[in-house]
Structure 1
Amino acid sequence: MVALNALAASIGILAALVGAVLGAGALATLVITLRVGAQHPPAGPFVAVAGGRLATIEAGPREGARATVVLLHGASANASDPMEGVGRTLAAQGFRVIAFDRPGFGWSDRLSGAQAAIPAVQGNAVAQALDHLGIGPAIVLGHSWAGSLALSLALDHPERVAGLVLVAPVARPFPPRGPVPWYVRLALQPPIAWVLSRTLAAPVGLRYLAGAARTVFAPQAVSPDYLARSRATLVLRPDTMLANVQDLVGLGPALDAQGPRYPTIRIPTVIVAGGADAVVRTDQQAAPLAAAIPGARLVVLPGIGHMVQYVAAEALAAEVARLADRLPGRVAEPALP
């Protein structure tokens, strides 16, 4: 009886400690969420699509542009990431550039919950937005996770895509790196992920954000003021964090279904990847993808890591311009409303 009472007391103390930690984390998350939202408000207009709105950022000439380039960002990011990387460079060269916050990221609505983790679902939303804006066909540039999204647009909405620029793209499931630890599998379960996103993820993520940036930029140094320019802390908000987890978990099965269709793509395609990319390895992703798409051109930049749009922005912009020059004709697009 004494042992049972002691066990009950220990469980009670443990529960109180866990509750205190989660409570403190929830308060910290609220403070971080409010502060991040105030620091990084919407940077451009919204576009209505089925189920909500997508946020946009625009740069470059609205009339007489060389072509329109649509920028799609990778995991954990938002529209400012590619815009501040290569987007401003393209705008200065006469391109009209429009970057979208993907569903659930930045200031865009998630639209369809966990279903939005599927590239085809996000592609439908982007296609609706382009239709609403009267834009297309456009050059679509997708980085990392959004390589799969750009490919989905080309497959399902080819009338909206004049050319594809795939930057360090994820196009097929990653090879297994061994069994996933039990605690990671547990943390990714929807109810637990929901709790963690609202308690511990933001304060812990804030501590490790700079280190994560160093990882994705390696072997190059992180670009000056990258975290501020890219508004990277927007990912720390609970709903965005949850969307990010859903996207990462749901991508593999979607790519299993999408991959066999790549040989049907007939849109001019250039794939630009870093030869030293340890995040999305070129030999496992970009190279096989280039072999699968008829006529695709693969450009491997020696010594460059994953963040091509920052550390090799001029080289990437040159590939966009080269692709634009191959297109049969370009029509000046209407301005955003």
Structure 2
Amino acid sequence: MIDSLLASVVMLLVVAAGFSAYKTRAIEQTYPNIGELTDIGGYRLNAVHLPRPVTADLPALVFIHGASGNLRDQLEAFAAPLSGRAEMLFVDRPGHGYSERGTAENALPSGQADAIARLMDERGIKSAIVIGHSFGGAIAAAFGLRHPDRTEGLLFLAPATHPWPGGVDWYYTLAAMPVLGWLFTHLFVIPIGLRRVETGTLSIFRPNERPADYIMKTAPELVLRPHTFRNNAADVVNLLAYVSAHAPRYREIKAPTVIITGDSDDIVLEELHSRGLARDIAGAELVTIRNLGHKPDYVTTDVAIAAIERLAGQPRDLQELAAQAEIRIASFGSGASGRPSPSQAVTAS
């Protein structure tokens, strides 16, 4: 009886591992790498680099995605509306998307900021406006602290940058463990995670509407691959201690800074993180948009682009644009995205 039970358990584990390996390959076939891998000193970072166009009116822009994401997220939000205006670098953070993890330091925002700086070296980008969404906000802040001479400006979009009460979800803690984490990610994450992609992406946008083609265009399933999920979990688990130690240093940041956040963001609380940044960084402008959730990059892309223009020295009234965005969101009703079409997008001076 015991031998039979043990054999059944082993068989289930083998089937689960085989299914995860099969689905990992299927995910990569569905969402192949659209970037280019660059060696930055012993490991490779993946990125989409759009060279500076002759029509550029903005400095170079470096985009840093959040937790559970990849470069496609920011690429889909910003590449088209900013086409012809700037050199752009969309990065798969170390251990995410198709980037290799690299050294142990890359489990922290400081290590990832340094890795992005080395990638900029390889791509010939001397300085840039750095745009960080969610977890990417912690990396943008680290970049501003560690590479001030390369930071022309900082744009934080719904950033995670300050200590928060409580911990993280149990599955991150489990996935980051040495042995149990390996078993969990190789056996269970894909079958469980595939069921949650739809609801998970909807919750990230809530109370706004998620674009219908968001999953197809941004490939969130890439994070379900075992090695990627473990890297993502380590990042998340390490973040609280990291920001607790480094948030007091944000006052050292001198780069022009804009923070865009929503008052209805239940993923990263604006009263802790965005208001904290506005308090800590001298001269930072806080733009709080009513009825906006965790995705200002998609729902209020026009405001984010105006903020980039403002950081580049162009006159922009961000508070007026935020007020117009609030009207637009409200006009779509509860649950609507309010994202403008190209003809609706506003650029105000």
TM-score interval, smaller chain: 0.7 to 0.9
1:333 is matched with which residue? none
1:81 is matched with which residue? 73
Q: Would you say 1:272 and 2:240 are equivalent positions? A: no
2:291 is matched with which residue? 303
Cα deviation for residue 50 of structure 1 reads 2.1
Q: Would you say 1:54 and 2:45 are equivalent positions? A: yes
Structure 2 segments unaligned to the other structure (5+ residues): 316-349
The equivalences for 1:251-262 within 5 A come to: 251-262=239-250
Cα deviation for residue 85 of structure 1 reads 1.5
The equivalences for 1:112-151 within 5 A come to: 112-113=103-104, 115-151=105-141
Cα deviation for residue 13 of structure 1 reads 5.0
Cα deviation for residue 125 of structure 1 reads 0.6
**Which amino acid is the alignment partner of residue 252 of structure 2?**
T
1:153 is matched with which residue? 143
1:207 is matched with which residue? 195
1:166 is matched with which residue? 156
3-state SS of 1:88 partner: coil
Cα deviation for residue 44 of structure 1 reads 2.1
> 2-side partners of 1:265 and 1:23: how far apart?
51
Cα deviation for residue 186 of structure 1 reads 4.8
Whether the 8 Å CA contact 1:136–1:162 is kept in 2: the answer is no
3-state SS of 1:190 partner: coil
1:259-281: CA deviations, max 9, x gaps?
Answer: 11100110000001111101001
2:225 to 203, 224, 237: 237
Whether the 8 Å CA contact 2:162–2:276 is kept in 1: the answer is no
3-state SS of 1:24 partner: helix
Whether the 8 Å CA contact 1:117–1:250 is kept in 2: the answer is yes
Q: In 2 relative to 1, CA 299–24 (structure 1 residues): closer, same or farther, beyond 3 Å?
A: same
1:23-42: CA deviations, max 9, x gaps?
Answer: 22211111111111112222
> 2-side partners of 1:308 and 1:218: how far apart?
11
Q: In 2 relative to 1, CA 279–191 (structure 1 residues): closer, same or farther, beyond 3 Å?
A: same
1:294 is matched with which residue? 282
> 2-side partners of 1:13 and 1:249: how far apart?
38
2:321 is matched with which residue? none
> 2-side partners of 1:232 and 1:85: how far apart?
14
Cα deviation for residue 154 of structure 1 reads 0.5
1:24 is matched with which residue? 15
1:35 is matched with which residue? 26
User: What's the TM-score once normalised by structure 1's chain length?
Assistant: 0.88
Cα deviation for residue 139 of structure 1 reads 0.4
1:184-208: CA deviations, max 9, x gaps?
Answer: 7555422111111111111211111
Cα deviation for residue 326 of structure 1 reads 5.1
Range that drifts further, 99-108 or 65-74: 65-74
> 1-side partners of 2:230 and 2:120: how far apart?
26
Cα deviation for residue 304 of structure 1 reads 0.6
Whether the 8 Å CA contact 1:91–1:97 is kept in 2: the answer is no
Q: Would you say 1:284 and 2:272 are equivalent positions? A: yes
Which of 1 and 2 has higher RCO (CA within 8 Å, sep 6+)? Answer: 1
User: What's the TM-score once normalised by structure 2's chain length?
Assistant: 0.85
3-state SS of 1:176 partner: coil
Whether the 8 Å CA contact 1:117–1:251 is kept in 2: the answer is no
Cα deviation for residue 317 of structure 1 reads 1.2
3-state SS of 1:142 partner: strand
3-state SS of 1:198 partner: helix
> 1-side partners of 2:52 and 2:121: how far apart?
20
2:95 is matched with which residue? 104
Structure of higher CA gyration radius = 1
Q: In 2 relative to 1, CA 184–16 (structure 1 residues): closer, same or farther, beyond 3 Å?
A: farther
> 2-side partners of 1:189 and 1:257: how far apart?
22
Alpha carbon RMSD of aligned pairs, Å? 2.0
Whether the 8 Å CA contact 1:86–1:314 is kept in 2: the answer is no
Q: In 2 relative to 1, CA 41–85 (structure 1 residues): closer, same or farther, beyond 3 Å?
A: same
1:133-192: CA deviations, max 9, x gaps?
Answer: 120310000000010000101100112110000010011122127x976x8755542211
Whether the 8 Å CA contact 2:173–2:237 is kept in 1: the answer is no
**Which amino acid is the alignment partner of residue 313 of structure 1?**
T
Identity fraction in percent = 33
Q: In 2 relative to 1, CA 167–13 (structure 1 residues): closer, same or farther, beyond 3 Å?
A: farther
Q: Runs of at least 4 residues of structure 1 off by over 6 A?
A: none
1:331 is matched with which residue? none
> 1-side partners of 2:255 and 2:31: how far apart?
36
Cα deviation for residue 62 of structure 1 reads 3.3
Structure 1 segments unaligned to the other structure (5+ residues): 1-8, 328-337
Whether the 8 Å CA contact 2:172–2:233 is kept in 1: the answer is no
